[in-house]
Structure 1
Amino acid sequence: MAGPSRRSIFTASFVGTSIEWYDYYIFGTAAALVFGSLFFPQFSSVAGTLAAFGTFAVGFIARPLGAAVIGHFGDRLGRKAMLVLTLLLTGGATALIGLLPTYAAIGIGAPLLLVLLRLLQGFGVGGEWGGAVLIATEHATSRRRAVYGSFAQFGVPIGVLTSNLAFLAVAGLPDEAFRSWGWRIPFLLSVVLVVVGFVVRSRLQEAPEFEKVKAARETSTVPVAELVRRHPRTLVLASLASIAPPAIGYTVIVYMLSYGTTVLDYERTTLLTLIMLSTVVWVATIIGAAVLADRVGSRPVYVVGALTAVIWPLPMFALVNTGSAALAGLAFAVAAVVQGIMAGAQGGLFSEIFPVRVRYSGISIAYQVGGMVGGAVTPIVATALFGATGSSTPIALYVAALSLLTLLAVFGLREGSARTAAEPEHQPN
């Protein structure tokens, strides 16, 4: 029986992930632009922003839990069913956020409900990336793992692009209209996107490598327990290796929106447009890095990306601090290259360092722990550092230090050490 085409694998991995990250990133944009005043109005401006970013961070706290739970069932039952589940969880929570009453309407219940829905959103996203990577890489031969693994990675910049487009479309509204109903539209659009993603993913076949393990009755009884007991070193190193991409990414797409509009007096539409344009560079870099990774190895390419992540934060802030939109655009474009290099190699690298029977759990937990450290904490720490020092230099040094952790961890990973001995019998066409 012929396997699914490359196009169907790409569509299921890319489209679903794009929708999930759209759902996730519109929260970050709203946290930077409007949530502070709508859900935490009793705080000062800085404290309200910190509270909004704290709510944003709550989603990251739920992501490792979602990775463990969804990863467990992904390793036990299969990749496909979990991808449908993550789509429904994340999309449903996003749509409900768009219907939430604000603090002015129901008081303390508003931020509490916002936190609850953010937790549900994060739980769903926690199992998304690992499943989307594996549904692609486990259909591929070893010579195409990085390219297939990059399919899911396109979802991140496309999610940033579409979420910023959605907010750009409503950002030009009068301030009163934007704050009363305009910000809700991007969240409510999630309903349409989820329907599209559900149709695409429900038609995909299960990953062949997992099917072979399941047919041989070799699935793990408790994947997370086996992962921690038998592969602790790989899990820790992979988690550290996952910190730099979100540290760079969330500094740009979340913190810079707040910093640029409140400290440097950029227009919010200007920053949204610049971030949106940088995603084109991000996607192009992912493609190039993935192709190169299949030729020279995923780990060397990832090392180059991590090294650039250590170097770039200081120049990036220096360019943004000039107040020039052109130089800020350059700063964001290079940051997109930095992220794209690592993204192009990450799927292929991570799918080869864990064995099939615990692979969904392994790559999901590692990716989400790295995301929690690099993504959840960074906007909060950046806001606090600037509030304490009045300078962006400590922020840049903090992001560079996180990236250094990633660089050192990648050297310890053994590429291809857990590659399954049984390659798929077909090459998707």
Structure 2
Amino acid sequence: MSTEGRGGPSPTRVLLASLVGTAVEFYDFYIYATAASLVFGPLFFPAASPSAQLLAAYGSFGIAFLARPLGSIVFGHYGDRVGRKSTLVASLLLMGGSTVLIGVLPTYDSIGWLAPLALCLLRFGQGFGLGGEWGGAVLLAVENAPASHRARYGMFPQIGAPVGFIAANGLFLLLGAFLTPAQFQAWGWRLPFLGSAVLVLLGLWVRLKLTETPAFAKAMEEAPPPAVPLAEVVRAYPRQTVGGPSPPSSASPCSISPLPSRWAMAPPPWAMAAPPSWACNWAPSCFWPWASSSPAGGRMSLPPAAC
């Protein structure tokens, strides 16, 4: 049933906002992985060997995984105190701004060591913004869901991740098909970063039409927010806090993100085989949340966690 008649956004709008915003932010996140695999080494990290350049570029890629937990803590704090909508808009702007600035960043040949330093700072901004996006988008979906459909609503941000993944690598695949290697290294790699501005505006257009979630509005009516929400979570739910961020789920993006990025620019059949492999992420992302609404409930999360 639509909630717009009661002054709130419709379920369709809520799910679209959580999916589109997450897809845009993961697109921004993964175009960096692709560019790091292909061009960032020689452009920003001059070294004696191509292998050292590639390792330096991958090192800058990894900075975001250090920033993401910090972003989740900071944006989570203000999301519980100020509101979900404001923090989601801020995370989208931070991610989008960092991405567009990477697209206009001078290389090492132009400004020397300031180029890799600025690149690493902007990559930190990407990770910080994505850290705030993930938890906020899930809350946006789940807190607008009926009690029996929370897992199903919560799957939409997860679906946004492979959408961004496919869009990012697919765009680089097209650029590789239509540009010469010299054109791609000179200016073509910048186009996906600059194009992020359009996608961020789309995400903002969707999210600015939302209101605060019913759960947050009710909590604000009942009592003021705690001074340090994270401390309350750790005190009240210590087991869930420790068990939630499992090492396999946290480590997998570090290993899988750059690999298809290099395959995307390889000759067929690799280039044609990579997109279906990314699309396979959708099946479990849809099945397990749907199955968790069965009488088995939370036990349905054990098989995918074991995998």
Q: Tell me the SS of whatever aligns to 2:294.
A: helix
Q: Distance in 2 between matches of 1:213 and 1:253?
A: 38
Name the amino acid aligned to 1:255: L
Q: Which amino acid aligns with 2:126?
A: Q
Q: Does 1:37 align with 2:42?
A: yes
Q: Aligned AA for 2:292?
A: A
Among 75, 80, 93, the alignment partner of 2:80 is: 75
TM-score (norm: length of structure 1): 0.66
Find 2:176's aligned residue among 149, 171, 177.
Answer: 171
Distance 1:101 1:297 in 2: 54
Contact 2:62 2:254 in 1 (8 A): no
Could you tell me which residue of structure 1 aligns to residue 150 of structure 2?
145
Q: CA deviation at 1:294?
A: 1.0
Deviation (angstroms), 1:77 = 1.1
1:301-351 deviations in Å (ceiling 9; x for gaps):
32211333xxxxxxxxxxxxxxxxxxxxxxxxxxxxxxxxxxxxxxxxxxx
What do residues 46-67 of structure 1 show as CA deviations (whole Å, max 9, x unaligned)?
Answer: 2211111110111111111111
Distance 2:272 2:248 in 1: 24
CA distance in 2, matches of 1:270, 1:89: 37
Query: 1:80 offset after TM fit, Å?
Result: 0.8
Q: How does 1:398-409 map to 2 (within 5 A)?
A: none
Q: Which residue of 1 aligns with 2:201?
A: 195
Matched, 1:236 2:242: yes
Task: List runs of 5+ in structure 2 lacking aligned partners.
Answer: 1-5
Partner SS, residue 73 of structure 1: helix
Seen in structure 2, the aligned counterparts of structure 1 residues 90 and 268 have a Cα distance that, compared at 3 Å, is farther
Change (3 A) 1:76 1:181: same
Q: TM-score, normalised by structure 2?
A: 0.91
Taking the aligned partners of 1:271 and 1:245, their CA distance within structure 2 comes to 26
Partner of 1:295, secondary structure, is: coil
Equivalent position amino acid for 1:75 in 2: D
Which runs of structure 1 show a deviation greater than 6 angstroms over 4 or more consecutive aligned residues?
A: none
Deviation at 1:149, TM superposition (A): 0.3
Deviation at 1:3, TM superposition (A): 3.6
Instruction: Indicate how the Cα distance of structure 1 residues 97 and 122 shifts in structure 2: closer, same or farther if over 3 A, else same.
Output: same
CA 1:185 to 1:268, structure 2 compared with 1: closer, same or farther past 3 Å?
A: farther
Give the counterpart letter for 1:245 in structure 2.
Answer: S
Please give the alpha-carbon distance, in whole angstroms, between the structure 2 residues aligned to 1:32 and 1:164: 11
Q: For residue 349 of structure 1, what is the aligned residue in structure 2?
A: none
For residues 289 and 112 of structure 2, what CA distance do their matches in structure 1 show?
Answer: 49
Greater displacement, 107-116 / 218-227 = 218-227
Task: Output the CA distance in 2 between the equivalents of 1:298 and 1:249.
Answer: 27
Q: Which residue in the other structure is 1:224 paired with?
A: 230
- State the partner residue of 2:135: 130
Give, as a single letter, the amino acid of the residue that structure 2 aligns with 1:252: I
8 A contact 1:99–1:184 mirrored in 2: yes
Distance 1:19 1:257, change over 3 A: closer
Q: Could you tell me how far 1:187 is from its partner in structure 2? A: 0.5
Could you say what secondary structure the match of 1:9 adopts? Answer: helix
Q: What secondary structure does 1:189 align onto? A: helix
Q: CA RMSD in A?
A: 2.0
> Equivalences for 1:68-107 in 2 at 5 Å?
68-107=73-112
Deviations 1:339-370 (A, max 9, x none): xxxxxxxxxxxxxxxxxxxxxxxxxxxxxxxx
How far apart are the structure 2 equivalents of 1:298 and 1:22? 32
Could you tell me how far 1:200 is from its partner in structure 2?
Answer: 0.2
Distance 2:150 2:69 in 1: 24
Alignment of 1:202-281 (within 5 A): 202-239=208-245, 241=246, 243-255=247-259, 257-258=261-262, 267=266, 270-281=269-280
Shift of 1:248: 3.5
Counterpart position of 2:305:
306
Q: Distance in 1 between matches of 2:27 and 2:197?
A: 12
CA distance in 2, matches of 1:268, 1:50: 23
CA distance in 1, matches of 2:198, 2:81: 30
User: Which residue pairs with 1:160 in the alignment?
Assistant: 165
- Counterpart Cα distance in 1 of 2:47 and 2:298: 48
Instruction: Tell me the amino acid that sits aligned with residue 274 of structure 2.
Output: I
The aligned amino acid for 1:290 is P
How far the C-alpha of 1:299 sits from its partner, in A, is 3.5
Matched residue, 2:3: none
| Matching residue within 178, 184, 189 for 1:183 | 189
Change in CA separation of 1:57 and 1:89 when aligned onto 2, cut-off 3 Å? same
Measure how far apart 1:287 and its partner are: 1.9
What's the CA shift string for 1:196-255, capped at 9, x where partnerless? 10010000121111111111124221112323344333212112x2x3235334433313
The AA in structure 2 aligned to 1:65 is: L
Instruction: Say if 1:61 and 1:12 are closer, same or farther in 2 by CA, change over 3 A.
Output: same
Q: 1:175 deviation in Å?
A: 1.1
The separation in 1 between residues aligned to 2:66 and 2:254, in whole angstroms, is 15
